[in-house]
């Protein structure tokens, strides 16, 4: 084994994760550093950033001196305690991926870079990115190829079971000679968007087409869901997205088999801690962004709708403490 190979394989954190593992899936507008840190405290094994535009990174870097202030660059920033941390990019032009990969590698230094092939949002698809990119095999190939060639980090991809005419098996077959280390499969087609059953059979079949780490994603809200999806897919890990909203302790529940319900007072304490982190990182903007999280935290509690009327107006930590304490 060459030293180069040894060094490279040392950097592939995916291989070191104890299976099954649980990742916080990327959530635009939600999975910022504060939320990720809260999920990490409850045992999330891998944290994904919100998606960041490769195109915007390219242009912001070209803009020169204010690059540090780039909002897109900020989306990919993280704190050391969040490792292993994966920065996710979206886009469609290989030229921008080449630049963005170098920027992320040098400026952000995450543990991995992920490419988004699943986003169904119209604005994203119009650029040929997200799920629209998955539907274009040739372009997908070029984007992955240039990203793997420009990063000394493991590259992962996040796909759906089908986009346009392309299903995940055909996709994996088409890119099989590229150096992709891990894949998260959202078990729904583009047509399904975010609802309906996930296709566990096709995720299991993906193993025949992909030698790396496989994560199943979609509709996991409890230990029972996780156990069923792991057994039906034989995946190495799971990606948790909406199941963590207002319930970051789901990661602990998945590991221990505990129930995901909690006492009101414990939930309030976690919510305040989350808000304090958000404030520390983003100031008042962080509090405004917390409003939706606070509403998720109280979901299902008696009197939640009355409380929500207050929570959607909070603009300081004291406002939140006054409601919760």
Ligand X SMILES: Cc1cc2nc3c(=O)[nH]c(=O)nc-3n(C[C@H](O)[C@H](O)[C@H](O)COP(=O)(O)O)c2cc1C
Residues 158 and 160: their CA atoms lie apart, in Å, by 7
Which range of residues in 94-102, 146-154, 241-249, 287-295 is near ligand X by CB under 6 A?
A: 241-249
Instruction: Tell me if 155 contacts ligand X by CB under 6 A.
Output: no
Residues 194 and 187: their CA atoms lie apart, in Å, by 10
Which range of residues in 64-72, 111-119, 147-155, 298-306 is near ligand X by CB under 6 A?
A: 111-119
Axis-axis angle for helices 317-324, 304-311 (nearest 10) = 160
Handedness of CA 279, 282, 80, 97 (dihedral sign): positive
**31 vs 148, which CB is nearer to ligand X?**
31
| Beta-ladder partners of 111 | none
**75 vs 272, which CB is nearer to ligand X?**
75
Compute the least distance from the CB of residue 204 to ligand X, in Å: 18
* Burial of 276 from C-beta contacts in 10 A (0-12 / 13-18 / 19+): middle
Return the C-alpha torsion angle 246, 249, 254, 255, nearest 10: 170
Compute the least distance from the CB of residue 290 to ligand X, in Å: 15
Q: Count CB-CB contacts under 10 A for residue 125.
A: 18
| Interface pick for ligand X out of 243, 246, 248, 286 (rule CB under 6 A) | 243
Instruction: Tell me if 53 contacts ligand X by CB under 6 A.
Output: no
Compute the least distance from the CB of residue 117 to ligand X, in Å: 8
| Inter-residue contact 81 to 121 (CB < 8 Å) | no
Residues 37 and 44: their CA atoms lie apart, in Å, by 9
- Cα distance from N-terminal residue to C-terminal residue, the chain: 59
Binding mask 60-89 for ligand X (x = CB under 6 A): ----------------------------x-
Which range of residues in 223-231, 236-244, 247-255, 297-305 is near ligand X by CB under 6 A?
A: 236-244
Instruction: Tell me if 27 contacts ligand X by CB under 6 A.
Output: yes
| Interface pick for ligand X out of 103, 119, 157, 272 (rule CB under 6 A) | 119
Per rule CB under 6 A, count of chain residues that contact ligand X? 22
Which range of residues in 68-76, 172-180, 213-221, 280-288 is near ligand X by CB under 6 A?
A: 213-221
**96 vs 268, which CB is nearer to ligand X?**
96
Residues 53 and 36: their CA atoms lie apart, in Å, by 20
Phi, psi for residue 13 in degrees, rounded to 5: -65, -25
Instruction: Tell me if 50 contacts ligand X by CB under 6 A.
Output: yes
Report CA 70 to chain centroid distance, whole Å.
20
**237 vs 268, which CB is nearer to ligand X?**
237
Instruction: Tell me if 120 contacts ligand X by CB under 6 A.
Output: no
- From start to end of 121-274, where are the E strands? 155-163, 166-167, 180-189, 213-217, 237-240
For 34: left if phi > 0, alpha if psi spans -120 to 50, otherwise beta; the answer is alpha
| Interface pick for ligand X out of 37, 161, 217, 233 (rule CB under 6 A) | 217
| Interface pick for ligand X out of 23, 39, 46, 51 (rule CB under 6 A) | 51
Query: 2: which residues sit within 8 A by CB, 6+ positions away?
Result: none
| Interface pick for ligand X out of 110, 218, 237, 286 (rule CB under 6 A) | 218
| Interface pick for ligand X out of 17, 28, 137, 227 (rule CB under 6 A) | 28
- Residues at the interface with ligand X (CB under 6 A): 25-28, 30, 50-51, 88, 116, 118-119, 158, 186, 194, 217-220, 240-243
């Amino acid at each position: 084994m060459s030293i180069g190979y040894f060094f490279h394989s040392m950097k592939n954190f995916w291989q070191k994760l104890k299976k099954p593992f649980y990742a916080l899936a990327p959530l635009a507008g939600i999975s910022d550093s504060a939320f990720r840190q809260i999920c990490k405290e409850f045992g999330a094994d891998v944290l994904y950033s919100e998606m960041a535009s490769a195109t915007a990174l390219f242009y912001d870097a070209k803009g020169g001196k204010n690059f540090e202030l780039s909002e897109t660059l900020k989306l990919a920033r993280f704190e050391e305690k969040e490792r292993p941390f994966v920065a996710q990019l979206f886009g469609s032009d290989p030229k921008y991926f080449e630049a963005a990969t170098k920027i992320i590698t040098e400026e952000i230094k995450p543990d991995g870079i992920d490419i988004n092939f699943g986003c169904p949002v119209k604005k994203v698809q119009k650029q040929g990115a997200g799920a629209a990119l998955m539907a274009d095999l040739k372009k997908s190939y070029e984007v992955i190829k240039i990203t793997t060639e420009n990063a000394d980090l493991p590259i992962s991809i996040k796909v759906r079971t089908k986009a346009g005419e392309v299903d995940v098996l055909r996709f994996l077959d088409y890119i099989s000679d590229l150096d992709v280390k891990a894949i998260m499969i959202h078990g729904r087609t583009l047509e399904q968007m975010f609802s309906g059953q996930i296709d566990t059979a096709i995720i299991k079949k993906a193993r025949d087409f992909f030698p790396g780490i496989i994560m199943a994603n979609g509709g996991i809200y409890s230990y029972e869901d996780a156990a069923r999806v792991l057994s039906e897919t034989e995946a190495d890990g799971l990606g948790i997205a909406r199941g963590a909203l207002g319930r970051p302790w789901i990661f602990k529940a998945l590991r221990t088999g505990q129930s995901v319900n909690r006492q009101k007072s414990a939930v309030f304490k976690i919510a305040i801690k989350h808000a304090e982190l958000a404030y520390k990182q983003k100031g008042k903007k962080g509090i405004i962004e917390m409003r939706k999280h606070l509403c998720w935290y109280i979901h299902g509690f008696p009197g939640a709708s009355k409380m929500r009327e207050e929570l959607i107006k909070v603009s300081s930590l004291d406002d939140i403490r006054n409601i919760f304490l």
